[in-house]
Homo-oligomer: A and B are copies of this chain.
């Protein structure tokens, strides 16, 4: 199979490599000429046999929307665009509609795997029509992990990114769970060595998981996490998951707690707490710090 791949950053670069190892012919394009196989989108499209399959792997939002719009002009009837980025599922509906006007198919694909994907494979959740997905299938097969799991045709257009979004929301809360437990063990000082307690949990426990393994790795590399600041970005999917919960009247208190903890971690001096301190001072004469 031939496939075009747009965006050769941390994720895209490794995905190109994994597909090539599986025998696919990958034409990659990136704005950075050092990693690009061709010098333009047009050249990428030109290089592909029909039906052309083009996988977009650029940042969500404007960059993805702009790339899809360009492809709408370059591709034609029967071709397929895959958005493998972290787009919000609501963007998929607009992208699919734009392309459908030209007879171009659209598949959205949530991709999990991070820096481990090259070796272990990428978990894939995709949405779209069966015909379009059939054209992309060899790429999905090359990218997915080797075992029987790790990929799913989740539903119609949008279902892939929606599933990946929920995956990431769950991920936020699971990370928060381990992190809360870690802080409590460290603070209580009842255990001699918190890293060894975490390490022991890797087998036989109810909470064994890949994230736990990673947490132990992190603790081994940097005991006590002394080199890491308590500061965490959020990348969109956590927010969208909470918003989708609200839209559907589904309470997501653990996922939301994880999201809010990240917001607060980025504040030096939370305005909410300035207000609390000011009110306490008003009624109780409690000292405030300045």
Given A10-B285, A277-B230, A284-B115: A271 and B225 interface contact (C-beta under 8 Å): yes
With a cutoff of 8 Å between Cβ atoms, the chain B residues found around residue A60 in the complex are none
Count the copies: 4
Task: Contact check, B214 vs A273: say whether CB atoms are below 8 A apart.
Answer: no
Asked if B269 and A113 make an inter-chain contact with CB atoms under 8 angstroms apart, the answer reads no
Chain B residues within an 8 Å CB radius of A122? 204
Within 8 A of B (CB), among A265-288: 265-267, 269-286, 288
Query: Within 8 Å of chain B (Cβ to Cβ): is A55?
Result: no
Q: Contacts A217-B282, A283-B206 hold; do A187 and B250 have CB atoms under 8 A apart?
A: yes
Residues of B within 8 A of A127 (CB): 190-191
Q: Which residue on chain B has the smallest CB distance to residue A113? A: B204
Q: Report if A135 contacts B (CB, 8 A).
A: no
Would you list 14 pairs from A and B whose C-beta atoms are within 8 A, ordered by A residue? Answer: A124-B204, A145-B204, A154-B191, A154-B196, A178-B279, A184-B248, A187-B271, A205-B210, A207-B209, A228-B288, A229-B288, A232-B276, A253-B256, A253-B260
Those 9 A-B pairs whose CB atoms lie nearest each other, nearest first: A209-B209, A123-B204, A152-B200, A173-B177, A230-B273, A179-B275, A253-B257, A251-B260, A229-B289
